[in-house]
Structure 1
Amino acid sequence: MSRPVSVRVLAVAAALAVCACAGARAKRSETYGARKGLAQELVRRDDWSRAFALVDALYREDPKDPEVLALRGVIYREQKLFKEAEADLAEALSLAPDNAYAHSNLALVFDREGRGSEALEHHRRAAALDKRNAGYVNNLAFSLFAHGKPREAIPVFHEALRIDPTNPRIRNNLGFAYAGTGDFRHAAEQFSMGGGRAEANNNLGYAYQVASNFAQAFDLYVEALRLQPGLARARQNLQEVARRLGRPIPTDLPPEPRPPTEGT
């Protein structure tokens, strides 16, 4: 007689488990999925305040949704709340270990905190999980470069370009990696493919500046500003290297354009 009782107990337990799961799912409103999609779009647009309001409401509905936890972790990271970001992204991965988005964004938290080995581990995991995502591959390459491994980064940047060959961000990152190895010829080639002539000269100038070749950087910044007088980054960089060299800025350099006045 004991065996049927055990069967009945198991059946009741199973029914209760099903009810519990159904109850957990019922917490989500009919608009949950649509609101999550909107939150994802707001994060893509860097609209952090509106994104957080949506994500926080979604979290209250379902605190175990790994996608919502990952989104909130990204928002925390962008507000420099790194401990909170790490906690949310780590919890997302405990719920969904193969979530490439959470791996990639946790890696970016570790990059910002200078935790290179942990960052690279999660960048590699994200790139392995989503092999056709050029952004994840680029992030892995840039992390290698940022942590002092430019030679290792170069083939990974090329891998990212095979996925997205016209991406200017990847081109410019590859240019800086080449410059990091002392190969300024290939750096210049990549910069020229990553933007206009003025931007390319500014990027190459900055690469020379990082290498302490201030005279070469000075000339490139001047050329960038002759091509595009409104390029603020080049003007700021030129002022810095001019100060370091003790050289005056050329008097015939086109002045910085004035911002338009109201009503014009």
Structure 2
Amino acid sequence: MSPTSPATHVIAYRAAEQLLDAGDPRGALKLLDPVVSAYPENTSARLLRARAFFLGAQLRSAEQEFQVILEREPDNAYAHFALARTLQRAARGDEALRHFRLAAALDPKPDYLAAARFGEPG
């Protein structure tokens, strides 16, 4: 198995998931960067990398990554919700509310609906 084989990338992705779950977003990013470089169209890898950016307080990078995902998949409710959380954390509430509402409209999960604050001015 070569250092850049698909199997190596799968192992790196799974290890990055575990690092992120263990609270090590920087470690996860080190593993994910080569995966995303090799498979830039892979939404799962990009979402995991965006989450790692978010958890590592790299909000601009998280925002950019979520935007790339939404350009390809405008109906990805989770990406809208996560982008909204990123914008909210960056003190950009009006922009965040728009994405919270899109997430809730696409997938009416209770946490998406609560964040969308439908019925309130926005």
| 8 A contact 1:66–1:93 mirrored in 2 | no
Task: Name the amino acid aligned to 1:137.
Answer: L
Please, which runs of 5 or more residues in structure 2 have no aligned partner?
A: none
1:93 Cα deviation after fit: 1.0
Corresponding residue for 1:71? 48
Query: TM-score scaled to structure 2, two decimals?
Result: 0.73
* Structure exhibiting the larger radius of gyration computed from Cα positions: 1
Aligned counterparts of 2:5 and 2:79: Cα–Cα separation in 1: 22
Query: Counterparts of 2:5 and 2:113 in 1: how far apart (Å)?
Result: 34
Root-mean-square deviation (Å): 2.8
Q: Does 1:89 align with 2:57?
A: no
* Structure 2 counterpart of 1:128, one-letter code: A
Q: 1:130 to 1:64 in 2, by over 3 A?
A: same
Please tell me whether residue 136 in structure 1 is matched to residue 97 in structure 2.
Answer: no
Q: Which has the higher contact order (CA 8 A, sep 6+)?
A: 2
Amino acid at match of 2:57: K
Which residue of structure 1 lines up, in the alignment, with residue 31 of structure 2? 54
Contact conserved, 1:123 with 1:136, CA < 8 A, in 2? yes
Q: What code does the residue aligned with 1:92 have?
A: I
Runs of 4 or more off by more than 6 Å in structure 1? none
Note the C-alpha offset of 1:73: 2.0
**Cα shift at 1:45:** 4.1
Question: What TM-score do you get using the length of structure 1 for normalisation?
Answer: 0.38
For residues 86 and 49 of structure 1, the distance between their equivalents in structure 2, rounded to whole angstroms, comes to: 17
SS in 1 for 2:6: coil
Q: Percent identity?
A: 32
- Change in 2 beyond 3 A, CA 1:123/1:41: farther
Distance 1:75 1:35 in 2: 14
What does residue range 85-234 of structure 1 map to in structure 2 within 5 Å? 85-131=62-108, 133-138=109-114, 140=115, 144=117, 152=120
> 1:49 deviation in Å?
2.7
Ranges in structure 1 where 5+ consecutive residues have no aligned partner: 1-26, 153-264
In structure 2, the CA distance between the partners of 1:76 and 1:98, relative to structure 1 (3 Å rule), is same
Instruction: Give the superposition deviation at 1:35.
Output: 4.2
